Amino acid sequence: MTESQAPSSLSELAAIADEAARTATAIPQFTHSQPLGVEDAYAIQAQSFARRMARGERMVGIKMGLTSRAKMIQVGVDEVIWGRLSDAMRVVDGAEVALSRYVHPRLEPEIAFLMGAPLSGKVSGAEALAAVAGVAAAGEIIDSRFENFSFALPDVVADNSSSSGFVVGKWNDRSTSIQNLGMVLEEDGRPAQIGSSAAILGDPVRSLVEASRMVGEAGLVLQEGWIVLAGGATAAIPLQAGSSYRIVVEDLGSVGFSAQA
Ligand code: 0L1
Ligand code: MG
């Protein structure tokens, strides 16, 4: 921030983040021009998402982020974060995805929970699982709106934790054990990343416990019918136009899409 520049207000930063996502335009990191705390960053995220809802989008769940060591190392941040999912971000299994919708999209393999009952606040793993209706193989398209995919923790939180798209496979019974399932992210039929669901906080259910705690702190409730993305099990890979992608999860099935320019 230069001496003559006043810091932008949270609502101004929310408008900038929203516009960058809407128009798929890279912007400079907020923290390069002004100090920003994580609490303020979540307020920016909420206000930015409210602008999407004012345009007619509907909140359908949340994503947990940075829930694996691979992800934390990849982006140089070491705290679990969360972001909001809207119906417009959903990609149908087998669809063609236009990369022009994004700045520099990446894909990571995930496990999704379908909520069967409301959940919020501090809960045990058993209480969290009791609120789940189903589990599925999933993929998250992350797309930082910041130049060079480069950010500090408050930047990425303000930018809806890079949330921009998600694809979910068929729902499996909630009793399916998901603690240590093999997960493969395929690009054009070849393995690009291989991991285990255990990479997600040791057990994806722990991510749901964190999700409940974090949304509770924000005064929200995970609603029945919402989707919770537990977080990437491996590092994310860049999407390339003309390639196809599939996430295969042991015992849960597979899901994917192809990428177009
Ligand atoms: O784990 C994630 O979903 C990543 C969220 C933010 C960091 C990134 O954009 O890679
Ligand atoms: Mg993710």
Q: Report if residue 196 sits inside a domain.
A: yes
* Ligand 1 nearest-atom number relative to CA 66: 1
| Helix segments in the chain, DSSP class H | 10-23, 38-54, 69-75, 125-130, 153-158, 204-217
Task: For tokens 């004012």, name the residue.
Answer: 54
CA-nearest residue, atom 9 of ligand 1: 162
Distance between Cα 214 and ligand 2 center (Å): 16
Residue at token pair 């398209």: 141
Residue 148 lies in a domain: yes
Q: Give the separation between CA 33 and CA 16, rounded to whole angstroms.
A: 14
Ion ligand 2: residue ranges with CB closer than 5 A: 140, 232
Q: Which atom of ligand 1 is nearest to the CA of 143?
A: 9
Strands (E), the chain: 59-65, 81-86, 90-91, 96-98, 106-115, 132-142, 163-168, 172-173, 182-187, 190-196, 227-229, 237-238, 244-249, 253-260
Q: What is the atom index within ligand 1 of the atom nearest the CA of 63?
A: 3
Instruction: Spell out which residues line ligand 1, taking CB within 6 angstroms.
Output: 63, 65-66, 71, 75, 140, 142, 144, 156, 161-162, 231-232, 236
pLDDT score, position 1: 47
Indicate which ligand has the atom closest to the C-alpha of 156. Answer: 1
Q: What is the pLDDT of residue 16?
A: 98
Q: What is the pLDDT of residue 59?
A: 98
Name every residue whose Cβ is closer than 8 Å to that of residue 107 and which is 6 or more positions away in sequence: 139, 140, 141, 142, 185, 236, 237, 239, 245
Q: At what angle do helices 10-23 and 38-54 cross, to 10 degrees?
A: 50
Q: Are 245 and 259 in contact (CB under 8 A)?
A: yes
- Do the strands 163-168 and 90-91 form a parallel or antiparallel pair, or are they unpaired? parallel
Domain count, the chain: 1
Ligand 1 mutation pick, 68, 162, 166, 234, max ligand atoms within 8 A of CB: 162
**Ligand 1 center to residue 12 CA distance, Å?**
23
pLDDT 10s per residue in the chain (261 long)? 444 578 899 999 999 999 999 999 999 999 999 999 999 999 999 999 999 999 999 999 999 999 988 778 878 888 899 999 999 999 999 999 999 999 999 999 999 999 999 999 999 999 999 999 999 999 999 999 999 999 999 999 999 999 999 999 999 999 999 999 999 999 999 999 999 999 999 999 999 999 999 999 999 999 999 999 999 999 999 999 999 999 999 999 999 999 999
175 belongs to a structural domain:
yes
Instruction: Give, using CA atoms, the residue closest to atom 3 of ligand 1.
Output: 65
36 lies in some domain: yes
Would 2 be classed as within a structural domain? no
Beta bridge partners of 100: none
User: 55 near 48, Cβ under 8 Å?
Assistant: no
Could you tell me which of 68, 181, 169 has the C-alpha nearest to residue 114?
169
Question: Domain for residue 150, yes or no?
Answer: yes
Residue whose CA is closest, atom 8 of ligand 1?
Answer: 162
Structural domain that includes position 203: 7-260
User: Within a domain: residue 1?
Assistant: no
Q: How far apart are CA 243 and CA 97, in angstroms?
A: 10
Residue 135 belongs to a domain with what CATH number? 3.90.850.10
Pocket test for ligand 1, best of 71, 74, 148 (most atoms within 8 A of CB): 71
Secondary structure element (H or E) that encloses residue 32, with its range: none
How close is the Cα of 148 to the center of ligand 2, in Å? 18
